[in-house]
Structure 1
């Protein structure tokens, strides 16, 4: 966490400066209160009123700087929170396909929302509160030495003991915090999964499962948070005990010094206020430090995202040769889906992959696009082993079109361009190649029509056409199509497939369960898997 405070050191220096000013204001108020009481004892009304006016002016200054302090703390917190989120997503950018899917999407969402919120409240807020207290305590201790050296020295002794005692529970605090965050992740991913499956549960009249599973996950989360609260309570009790002993002892010592005539009677009011500031801070510091340290496992968890895209770092030197499979095998655990497959895909060729469900068709395409790199045997692209090529270099040359494409909330245009710039001419061309004209012409806003959440306002066939246009506009030479026209009507599917196989610049490898005769006769090969 210290990394982010150093990263935004200017913002945090401004905050510390404001905290110092407000801390000085509070300390001077306490010291001047002693003078006000002494003037009352001496029945000096004029002197008393002058001190009251000074205190009033100081309070106005305090309020002005407190306003700036609150605003600047919020700005610094949000800059640091944004930096943490950016670091997490940057690591996600660099991870491999398999490593990303080691966790559910809901887990990553929980990291970026719940965990960052926890860091803001548990770490950042506690740190700024601790700094506020420490600065106020520092100026208060200096003021106590001003009254008498024994008051300052005794405060340091009792304060040190109060800080050390709660460290007994430091390890338990960290473990309880980590367990609570894991249960929070589990809750979010579990609930997200069942809410995402609303349509399926609705079809089977099982919507009550949403309530049942939410309650089950909520009880587990509540148990984790209750255990965390138990540890926090132990830390708090020790802190409160030290607070009570410190305030009472300073009051008693000041009373004695006043009785023997070393300090004035008014000093009792001042030192009591100063002791409250100091020991409230010290009583809170241990608890605050425990909370701050408790987020360390959260940061360590973020670092478990393995960087590296799962491929080698070799760049693609050329595309002079096609894709060659030699004794290629792949297994999911004990289940082998590809066994000793040998085949060549020439550049510019058009190929179909056919076979029954479970024969390894989609697995083969996932290997060719670099999603699966733990295969045995050999797969070469332009005589370079696929798992030695960098994933980015591979995907810059090969386009993969999924049979169930994902659309983002936004417009059709947004989903084709994916926030990249393409000229209108290019958009018009791919709309024709993907047979989207008839759809777009019927929509009131054309390309700028919203597709709804995950494309729910469109049919499966319309989503497939948008995904095809998304791929074609990027001008890649090799296209892998996994049942990319399965949701289309016969006429549209045939038109799109003909556009692909008639393009001499494209290498096309497509999975299909329905290989049309008119398309088959134009292919350079059909790979049948069983």
Structure 2
């Protein structure tokens, strides 16, 4: 289970405060919406009273004076039309509140995700994160549009109806009042039975998104290993689970919400008609009062049914809010107070560094390194020796359990994010290409300018290739840079790193997946930087780093050897020498087989 899958308890009061804070964020807008609700409700409540007056004054006495009747009918039409218009306006106001809230929450969540440490992404699933940022934030909108607006307007309507009932007949008002505690009990029972099911439903929905995302990303592997049926079975199991949980919530809502309210209202209606109808027949009560009361009773049960019905949406929206709130509570990267200095030289110092992804399993142990500005260092070692982990620590992706890292004699975490990313360039083994233009892929939103972008492309020996393309630097690369070869994608990443004029350049097996010709191009680009930029290269092909100033040899997380190529080759039983000779034998064998 990942962190996103865990069922840890979430502070629901915290998520509720988060969601309600947006209601009062634009106080004037909320007050306007509330005033519109009150006025529209008042106009709505006037209708049955006008009907009562019409029945008792004109129909029952069989007296139809023209202008009074015109006045009553006109008042009825005006209140109906104006009430409808105001309800439309209030809906727009609440939708405005909802859209602003969703806009800000989604921006806030994505901004927070961008600041989370890499350790979080080691455990998270992409599809689930996407679901939280998109689906869950969208569901939150129901809190404001479907629930808050509906409940507010219906509560005010209930107050208005009860007031009008009390004016007509206090006894009848008390009968209607009996419905309120019964409805409250039904809502409590619904929340009790549906809460966990709704939470599980949303979790399964995230799992569906995660499974689809992973399957599409790894489609070539799935088809190559004939895993279509197992993947389909996995998806069907999750999808069926989601269907069952949704069906359970619908069954509970269908039984406890509107049907139960309708049944109660019918029972009360029959009782009122029987008791009050006899009073009308006996001449004790006015028929206009009975008409108005029955009209109000119909309107009274409708808001109650609406409120209970909306609690289904409220439950789902609150679960979505809890999930979003939990993501916002994930601790961001720790930032020390910024000392204000930029990375000017590129000197690197690592002191007694120990790190493990798990507290009791160290990947790196007591590493000590001193790299002067402009030096070319290489890091080599067998798979799992900690090479890429060391680069991740230098990039401040993780915090070491022991030891410290310094750049230009300042602690690494003391540099702010912008300073660190401008001062350190990183070239990964797997190039990340935006579905955008070549220019935007090199510039990466840094506003470097055309000249700087083209200079970086020339240094990466990619400018000639770009100039031959129909749209030059404005050529759209498509998803994953499909219009470029594997080697050209790697050159593009090198251009991106060089464009920012970094003082330190980190390369994580940048030539591992390219052919020999592209490897030579990359080597030429790096050789031109020698002495100007501090370079730290993680390499698998030892022939590519034999000219490095110093080579660090890692074995099971420990720094076991260091020195230049000649010095390390003199160690007869050295790890580096054995690795180098093994690769040389592999090259000779490959040449013989060719």
**TM-score, normalized by length of structure 1?**
0.89
Q: In the alignment, which residue of structure 2 is the partner of 1:433?
A: 459
Aligned-partner Cα distance in 1 for 2:21–2:272: 38
Measure, in 2, the Cα distance between the counterparts of 1:231 and 1:376: 54
Which of 547, 551, 569 is the aligned partner of 1:526? 551
- Post-superposition Cα deviations, 1:324-381, rounded to whole Å, max 9, x if no partner, equal 3344344455765434433322222111222333322211111111112244444433
2:58 is the counterpart of 1:33: no
Corresponding residue of 2:573: none
Pairing 1:277–2:299 present: yes
1:478-517 aligned within 5 A: 478-503=504-529, 504-516=531-543
Note if contact 2:47-2:79 (Cα within 8 Å) is conserved in structure 1: yes
Which segments of 5 or more consecutive residues in structure 2 lack a partner in the other structure? 1-18, 556-594
Change in CA separation of 1:274 and 1:110 when aligned onto 2, cut-off 3 Å: same
Alpha-carbon distance, 1:429 to partner = 0.8
d(CA) in 2 for partners of 1:450, 1:99? 32
Contact 2:352/2:368 (8 A) holds in 1: yes
In the alignment, is the contact (CA less than 8 A) between 1:167 and 1:286 conserved in 2? no
Please show how residues 103-502 of structure 1 align to structure 2 within 5 Å. Answer: 103-121=124-142, 124-236=145-257, 237-252=259-274, 254-255=276-277, 258-259=280-281, 261=283, 263-289=285-311, 291-292=313-314, 295-305=317-327, 306-315=329-338, 322-333=347-358, 337-386=363-412, 394-502=420-528
Matched-pair contact (CA < 8 Å) for 1:81–1:120: yes
How many residue pairs match? The answer is: 528
Which aligned pairs between 1:82-93 and structure 2 lie closer than 5 A?
Answer: 82-93=103-114
Kindly state the Cα deviation for residue 206 of structure 1 after the two structures are TM-superposed: 3.8
1:234 Cα offset (Å)? 4.5
Mapped to 2, the partners of 1:259 and 1:421 lie a distance apart of 85
Q: Distance in 2 between matches of 1:9 and 1:208?
A: 55
Deviations 1:365-421 (A, max 9, x none): 111111122444444334455467666654443222211122222212222222331
| Mapped contact 1:147–1:263 kept (Cα < 8 A) | no
1:125 deviates by 0.7
Return closer, same or farther for 1:321/1:129 CA change in 2, 3 Å cut-off.
closer
The two structures have a TM-score, normalised by structure 2, of 0.80
Q: Give the SS at the match of 2:23.
A: helix
Change in CA separation of 1:458 and 1:176 when aligned onto 2, cut-off 3 Å: same
CA distance in 2, matches of 1:507, 1:440: 28
C-alpha displacement of 1:294: 5.2
**Pair 249,81 (structure 1): closer, same or farther in 2 beyond 3 Å:** farther
Q: Is the 8 A contact 1:191 1:210 kept in 2?
A: no
Separation in 2, partners of 1:95, 1:243:
53
Do the aligned residues in 2 keep the contact of 1:312 with 1:390 (CA within 8 Å)?
yes
- Taking the aligned partners of 1:247 and 1:15, their CA distance within structure 2 comes to 33
Are the structure 2 counterparts of residues 79 and 321 from structure 1 closer, same or farther at C-alpha, using a change threshold of 3 Å?
A: closer
CA distance in 1, matches of 2:27, 2:270: 39
Classify 1:303/1:129 alpha carbon distance in 2 versus 1 (closer, same or farther; 3 Å).
closer
Secondary structure of 1:6 counterpart: coil
Tell me, in whole angstroms, the C-alpha distance in 2 between the residues paired with 1:421 and 1:390: 19
Structure 1, residues 449-496: CA drift from partner, whole Å, max 9, x if none? 112123233332222222222222222211101122344444443344
CA distance in 2, matches of 1:248, 1:119: 40
Measure the CA separation in 1 of the matches of 2:226 and 2:465.
34
- Alignment partner of 1:371: what SS? coil
CA contact (8 A) 2:198 2:315 kept: no
- 1:12 pairs with one of 30, 40, 47: 30
**Against the structure 1 CA distance between its residues 15 and 463, is the aligned structure 2 distance closer, same or farther, given a 3 Å change threshold?**
farther
Report the CA distance shift for 1:307/1:209 in structure 2 as closer, same or farther (over 3 A): closer
Q: Distance in 1 between matches of 2:22 and 2:263?
A: 34
Rounded Cα–Cα distance in structure 2 between residues aligned with 1:219 and 1:428 = 53
Q: Distance in 2 between matches of 1:239 and 1:366?
A: 60
Quote the Cα distance in structure 2 between the aligned partners of 1:259 and 1:84: 60
**Aligned-pair RMSD on alpha carbons?**
3.0
CA displacement at 1:191 relative to structure 2: 2.0
The 10-residue stretch of structure 1 (362-371 or 396-405) with the greater mean CA deviation from structure 2: 396-405
| Cα gap change, 1:400 to 1:308, in 2 (>3 Å) | farther
Query: In the TM superposition, what is the alpha-carbon distance from 1:205 to its structure 2 partner?
Result: 4.3
Relative to structure 1, is the Cα distance of residues 126 and 200 closer, same or farther in structure 2, using a 3 angstrom cutoff?
Answer: same
Tell me the distance in 1 between the aligned counterparts of 2:436 and 2:237: 35
Contact 1:329/1:341 (CA < 8 Å) preserved in 2? Answer: yes
- Tell me which residue corresponds to 2:61: 42
What residue in structure 2 maps to residue 23 of structure 1? 41
Deviation, structure 1 residue 245: 4.1
Alignment check: 8 A CA contact 2:442 2:493 kept: yes
- 2-side partners of 1:192 and 1:525: how far apart? 42
How much does 1:229 deviate?
Answer: 2.7
Decide which moves more: 154-163 or 83-92: 154-163
Q: In structure 2, what is the Cα distance between the partners aligned to 1:262 and 1:506?
A: 101
- Measured in 1, the distance between the counterparts of 2:421 and 2:525 equals 22
More deviation, 7-16/417-426: 7-16
Alignment of 1:55-70 (within 5 A): 55-70=76-91
